Amino acid sequence: MTLLVLGAIAAGALAGYWLLPREALGYLDTVTTAALCLMLAGIGVDLGGRRETWTRLRALGWRVLLIPLLIAVGSLVGAVAGGFALGLPVNESSAIGAGFGWYSLSGVLLAKIYNVETGALAFMTNVSREVIAFLLIPLIAARLGYLTAISPGGATTMDTTLPLIAKTTDADTTIIAMVSGTALSAMVPLLVPLLIRM
Amino acid sequence: MYLIILSLGIGIVIGYLRPLSPEKARLANAVTTVGLFILLMSMGAQLGSNEDVLSGLGRLGLQAVVLAAFSVLGSVLMICLAKDYIYKGLDEKLGRRQGGASQ
């Protein structure tokens, strides 16, 4: 999947560099808007259909929602602090941080509704976050506790980093990670457009 | 913006009210993937035709690592600080300290 994602961007980049005249890019707008709506509806169907996750959330009690909430706050504050050091405006750094590791969605969203440079930065930032998460999860699970090991993954603890969490923590933590990742994933398509318009 | 929330909302309602059969779930997944790839190629095309951004990719990569590291640090700090409070609530639910008495 990662290779396919990179391949699609590379194919588009080659087409944009050599084939497409600049004026043709404007016509792409209708196509990409339709693609965006379809993709978001598909993501919605997936999130809405995760009934067992939402049922587990109720069984665990609402305090468990503090986990994705605090991860979200930590990500946003961290990204804004990092952005401040880099001289980025707050709307850009916070929207990039609100990708929570979901690089494909945050990247294409920002490229579509804001500008391609910020989209590319969101893509690379959230790819980096996933890589950092893969490296840190085993270390954090061993040193700072199982619950803390959920935090670096952000939205990815719903799918890509879940197997690693399952391997390095226990069953309870794995279920909490899935709930947290699902809640954070649901926040990405809402927070990214909201924050970039601040 | 409205289009984004509307599309997502419609999807969530459909997914929640009528959990999809495996075949339909595959279809929904295929739709999402096709949409994603169209957008990825479009992002690529915009990148490829924008020499300013292309020449700045190295700088963007460095910024990306800084932003990602700070995001992770913020998240880890927040959960580290709050984990005792969160565990206190969870232990009751998971029946660890109370031996399931809360159920």
DSSP assignment of B74-99: HHHHHHHHHHHHHHHHHHHHHTSSST
B14 contacts in chain A (CB < 8 Å): 41, 44-45, 48
Q: How many CB pairs under 8 A join A and B?
A: 321
**Measured distance CA(A68)–CA(A128) in Å, rounded:** 20
Q: Note whether A38 contacts B31, CB cutoff 8 Å.
A: yes
**Spatial separation of the C-alpha atoms in residues A179 and A53, rounded to whole Å:** 6
Residue B54: its chain A contacts at CB < 8 A? 17
Cβ neighbours of B78 in A, within 8 Å: 70-71, 73-74, 151
- CB atoms < 10 A from the CB of A29, how many? 11
Q: What is the mean pLDDT of each run of 10 residues along chain A (198 residues)?
A: 85 82 70 89 88 81 90 98 96 98 94 94 96 95 95 94 93 91 94 94
Residue B19, pLDDT > 80, answer no
Q: How many CB atoms lie within 10 A of CB B102?
A: 12
A61: nearest CB among B56, B72, B93? B93
pLDDT at B101 over 60: no
Give the three-state DSSP class for B15: helix
pLDDT score recorded for residue A3 = 83
For residues A84 and B54, the model is more confident at A84
Confidence of residue B96 (pLDDT cuts 50, 70, 90): low
The burial of A75, by beta-carbon neighbours within 10 Å (0-12 exposed, 13-18 middle, 19 or more buried), is given as buried
- A contacts of B20 (beta carbons < 8 Å): 45, 49
Residues with Cβ within 8 Å of residue A2, at least 6 apart in sequence:
none
Give phi and psi for A80, each to the nearest 5. -65, -40
- pLDDT at position B95, please? 58
Comparing CB atoms, the residue among A47, A121, A150 nearest residue B12 is: A47
Is A198 near chain B, with CB under 8 Å?
no
* Interface with B, mutate which of A38, A39, A45 (most B CBs under 10 A): A45
Which residue from B minimizes the CA distance to A85? Answer: B66
The ipTM estimated for the assembled molecules is 0.91
Q: Which position has the higher pLDDT, B16 or A90?
A: A90
Give the closest-approach CA distance of A77 to chain B in angstroms: 7
- CA dist A120 and A115 (Å) reads 9
Model-wide pTM > 0.90? no
Angle at B25 between CA B20 and CA B29, to 5 degrees: 145
- Cross-chain Cβ contact B45/A12 below 8 Å: yes
